[in-house]
Structure formats: structure tokens, C-alpha cells
Chain A
């Protein structure tokens, strides 16, 4: 099967099994994916499998192409080369994916209810289904009371809840989440992470979740992919063996938790450092270019 295709650039000391991109029953299979913007290589030969029902986390330094990878999966970017296969069960009526965006993505001109119903309305779902689904997920996100509110009347955390309700209500095969909690304060973040886990537990959909927070990756994920600094490559895969359902507060006491955090950090540290050096170099180059461009 997919084991025959290998493109492993990972060079890490973790157990061999975790370096394998392949899983038993992949919902998403990515092989040797390349993406460049003009002369800039954003993603350089990424291969990975994401299992059906897996909560898959991607961490990496800023500018490593993780958002680009997610946007490709969301159909918002094209690929330069490589292959992506998304396996949808035969006869599935569900849309392939729904994305929870970083930053404010709910429409200011729609009420909470209409925002949450957006995906279903766009695919002309029957009214009864819209009512049932939207009602359910607004309930699960604690927004029922705010159904008729406009976004400007909500806090940042509530807006992100609407965005999550919108994605879940659309009932996709795959949920894509692009640092959905990064703009929230620590307390709200914790609350939403727990809520997300609860909602996810209902159906255990396949999730691809991007974060720059190592803690978040361990709290939520079944498996974590660490990416290298630009150009984005797979550095390693790390399995999170913590049992579910998880209570985030309890996790912090578990000895495995500390170990995992430590391990991910040591993988990530070099990359963050490298990303920073790159930035410095770029800035220096810009400066030089400017100087040379100046008439003497």
C-alpha cells in the first residue's frame, strides 16, 4: 500500500515507527508535495498519511508552510507538484472538508445562527436538517442564547465558537483548523480546547489542526507532525499516547505530558532558531540591497 512510497527527509532520533508517514487506514494521503510561490519554496517534499478519525496536529516555526499545507487541503491553494488523495467513504453525502480559520472569519453581517448555518445553506441542505444541526452545535458551543446576536456583540472567544459551530454543523469528512485559538487569552483558550475535545468525542472526525503551541498539540492530538523551518519539510512524527477522553487540567499532572512537551520542544527548538536566523539574514540582505540601490 502506501508504505511503498517513501520520501522521508526526517532526520530525528525518535523511534523508527514514528518516522513512517503511513497509517493503516488513511483518510488523507499526501505524497512528495511541493508548493512554491514564485521563487520561494513553501513546502518541499512533504509526505504523510492521516488516519480516519485521527486528531492530527502540525507544529512548526512560523513561515514553515503549515498554513499553506492546510489551505491546500481546504482547496484554497493549488499544489506545485506531488499528490494528495482524500479518501471519502462510498456513498458519503458529506462535504469533503470544512475549515476553522485563524482570526475573525465569521461574517459580521450575519447573526450567529446564520453564520453557523452557512455551510449547510450553501449546499442547499433541507431546512429541517439545518435547524437540527445548527441547533445542536450552537447548544454544544454554549451559543444558543446568542443565536440572534451579531458578531460585533460577541467576545473574541464566542466568535471563535461560532466558527467552530459553523464547521461542525456542516458535517464534513475532515475538519481543518488553522490556529483557531491563537488570538485568545489563556483562559478562554483552555476552555475552548476542552469544548473542542468534547464535541470531537461525539463523532471522532478526522481533524488536521495547526498550532504553534506545543502544549496545545499534546492536549488535543493523537499524533503530532513537527515541520522544519522554511522550506517546510517533515522533521518527525510524534505519537501522543495519552488516553481519551482527556481532561486538559489533569493531563498536566501526567508524567508523560512533561516528557512529550520536552521532546517536541527539543525537535522544534533548532527549527525555531533556524527560522529566526533566516529572518535576520533576509533582513540583512534587504538592507544591503537597499544600500546598493541608493545613489552615492
Chain B
């Protein structure tokens, strides 16, 4: 291929990438530009694309109860992710190394808990939480999200552990290392990309949850997605705050994903094909 032809193909590719990006990102970009507009401008038709931006929506958002809701989201998503990993990763390791007859039945039983839609569990959770006083608490949300994320962790982590050659562990054991040391210092570092990818999925599930937060919280443990809906008032929707809240809700996921992106791609693909 000659130089000009190659350059033209590359330009076409860039245009295609640019157009695809714009199409994919347009909902987010639209939301973002709305968040810098006043309510008057947001409802103006045709919508003005050039305007004087204002930070008023963000400022009033942080003066409202949204800040506390944001904190609740952050806590419930982080703690539930940590707890699911803490319990799920050793469980996945144990299952991957277990050669007993009940292995497949047990794995399937763990997955069954993810097969019913969340709505099926909502009312029992609501009644039980009300009975034990966990309604409207971050602890309650953490437990719900953990219970839903645990099967995901166990199922996602098993293939990663299966890619680690057992001979490595046997060598370490022969050298006198305990099972705990083998697990923590040899196996875990080797599946770090898998843990990162799993953590992101767990975090996303908890962070984006609306339904459980809507039913199981009131005002104390209200999470950010529910708080955003709270700007849809009977007397009118606060469009600017909804847009600013929506943009802010996306931020932690974006930051978290960027922070672990090095592991993310390899993590999402590595476990797919066993070595």
C-alpha cells in the first residue's frame, strides 16, 4: 500500500472512530452540557449549544442533601465490594482446587441465587429488614449488595484460579510455605487483574442500583441514584440538578475504572480462556 492510500485509510478510520465516539458519548455529553445550563436554557427550544455556563446546579446540589446521599453510595458500594471480594475470592479458590463430587452442584447452587430477578427478593428483604431494624441503613444496603455480588465473585474468579498451575503451589508447599502463604503471596498476585475486573463489576452493580435503594432506604441511607430522582418534584422537575447529579454519579465509576484500567482489559479477557 502506497503512502497517500495508507494515509487516506487512516483518516477514514479516524473519522469512523470519531463519529462512533460522538454517537456513543452523545447521551453523556448532552447530560453534561445540561448540567451547566440554567433551567430556562434547558427548556429552551431549539436548545442553544453556545451559552454562558453556570456552576449553580453543582453548587446547589452540594448545599442540598445530595452530598450525604453521595457519601452513602460511596460507602455502600465500596464496603459491599470489599466484603464480596473478601468472602468470594477464597471461596472461588477453594472451589477451583476442590475435585470432589459435589463441586458442580455447589457451584450451580451458588449461581441459582442470581437467577431470580431482584424484584423477587425485594419484599422479603423489606419485611425482614423492617423486623430487624436494618431498614434505611447503609449496613442493610451493604448486606444486600454483598449477597448479590458474592455469586458473581465466585463464578468470575474460578477461571482465573484455574489458570494458575497447581505445580507452583506444590513447589511452595514443598519449600515449607503454609496454605495461607501460598494463597496470599503466590496465587493472589497472579490473579490480580481478575480481582480488579471483578471489583469493578461489583462496584458498578452496587453503585448503579436504584431499586433496592428505593425500597430499603428512606432518608438516612438514601443513595445518589435515588437522590437524583428526588429532584423530580410534584411541582416541577429540577432539570439542572438532575443533570448535575447524573454527571456526578458517573464520576466515581469513571475514576475507579481509569485507575484500574491497566488490569481491566487483561482481567476481563484472561479468565475467558483457561491456560
Q: Do A and B come from one complex?
A: no
B residues neighboring A (CB under 8 Å):
none
